[in-house]
Amino acid sequence: QNRGKTSTSPGPETVKYFILSFRDLTEARRMDRMRTDFVANASHELRTPLASLMGFVETMQGPARGDLKAQERFLAIMLEQASRMARLIDDLLSLSRLEMRAHVPLRDTVDLGEVALHVVDALRPMAAEIGVEIALAGPDGDATVIGDRDELIQVLENLVENACKYGQSGGRVDVRIVAGGAGSSSGSTGPLVEVQDYGPGIERQHVPRLTERFYRADVGESRAKKGTGLGLAIVKHILTRHRARLIVRSEPGEGSTFAVRFPDANADTRPDAR
């Protein structure tokens, strides 16, 4: 009851300190939470194929012992599960490498036309195998950006691979490189890369979440296609570092376009711009 007498009301210093540390704590907790979620998701994604592998080994040691035909079938599935684990680990390593390099400045002049040609040439055989033709158009002028060539190759690889994989039914993927230049309403613009497919498209509610780690739209359909749900998370990571934007346009039944808009180099005079 006599609290009023003994307690001193906190001075402004104390209050400031409290608020600061409270904010830091919330941010630290949020980061902590994100890390914990990520580790839990990654472990779960790895655990699933591993459990399947162990199950098949046990079956081969037990009920299927001596049944060569069954064993052959099981071995094919086991190889598929092991490949899935390898893909996951590769993507996790890519993400972690990107995080470690986040502060390495971007300095190379990268020709987006050359990058696209490289990626399209590399992916054509895989696409042909699933009945998809990849066409490359442009650039119609200067399409160079300051960046990291390997990272930009990875961006385009992921987008073109997705377009072939998920847009397979469309039979065709168009890759367009548009040079930067004088834009119509918004002044000058940086170069643009577009990857368009004519597959089933993506329902609107999934679009804002596509770049989340492990997010896969239409789980049943996506699971049938090989993937980890990390491809677009990697793309987003790299594009943020290049100050480029990912724009997704998709119409269910008609296909999707994933566009990357790079910043206009001329408009940017900040020395530490990345």
Task: Identify the residue among 113, 167, 180, 191 touching ligand ADP (CB under 6 A).
Answer: 167
For position 126 contacting ligand ADP by CB under 6 A, the verdict is no
Q: Does 217 bind ligand ADP (CB under 6 A)?
A: yes
Choose one: 15-23, 161-169, 182-190, 263-271; the region binding ligand ADP (CB under 6 A).
161-169
118-122 CB contacts, 8 Å cutoff, 24+ apart: 118/153, 119/153, 119/156, 119/157, 119/160, 119/175, 120/160, 120/175, 122/157
Query: Taking contact as CB under 6 A, which single stretch among the options 5-13, 29-37, 57-65, 227-235 is the one that binds ligand ADP?
Result: 227-235
Q: H/E element holding 272?
A: none
Nearest to ligand ADP of 144, 196 (CB atom):
196
Which residue in 24, 90, 121, 218 binds ligand ADP (CB under 6 A)?
Answer: 218
CA distances from 44 to 38, 50, 88, 111, 219 (A): 10, 10, 11, 39, 16
Please give the backbone phi and psi of residue 232, each rounded to the nearest 5 degrees, phi first.
Answer: -75, -25
Please identify which residue in 49, 139, 191, 227 interacts with ligand ADP, judged by CB under 6 A. Answer: 227
Residue 216 in the binding site for ligand ADP (CB under 6 A): yes
- The alpha-helical segments, DSSP class H, found in the chain are 3-6, 12-61, 68-100, 112-129, 149-166, 219-224, 231-241
- Pairing state of beta strands 245-251 and 181-182? unpaired
Nearer to ligand ADP, 73 or 225 (CB): 225
Rounded Cα–Cα distance for residues 251 and 111 (Å): 31
Q: What angle do CA 209, 215, 219 make, to 5 degrees?
A: 115
With CB under 6 A as the contact rule, the residue among 49, 190, 231, 263 that binds ligand ADP is 231
Question: Smaller CB distance to ligand ADP: residue 189 or 211?
Answer: 211
Counting residues that bind ligand ADP (by CB under 6 A) gives 22
Secondary structure class of 13 (helix, strand, coil): helix
Per CB under 6 A, does 74 bind ligand ADP? no
CB of 122 to ligand ADP, least distance (A): 17
Radius of gyration of the chain (CA): 24
Task: Give the residue, chosen from 144, 154, 162, 168, that forms a contact with ligand ADP under the rule CB under 6 A.
Answer: 162
SS3 9: coil
Contacting ligand ADP (CB under 6 A), which of 42, 92, 153, 210? 210
Nearer to ligand ADP, 46 or 64 (CB): 46
Nearest distance, CB of residue 163 and ligand ADP, angstroms: 5
CA distances to 20, 55, 76, 203, 249 from 167, rounded to whole Å, are 49, 33, 26, 14, 14
Task: Provide the pairing of β-strand 133-137 with 172-178.
Answer: parallel
Q: Work out whether 136 is an interface residue with ligand ADP (CB under 6 A).
A: no
- Residue 194 sits in the site that holds ligand ADP (CB under 6 A): no
> Residues in the site for ligand ADP, rule: CB under 6 A?
158, 162-163, 166-167, 197, 199, 202, 210, 215-218, 222, 227-233, 256
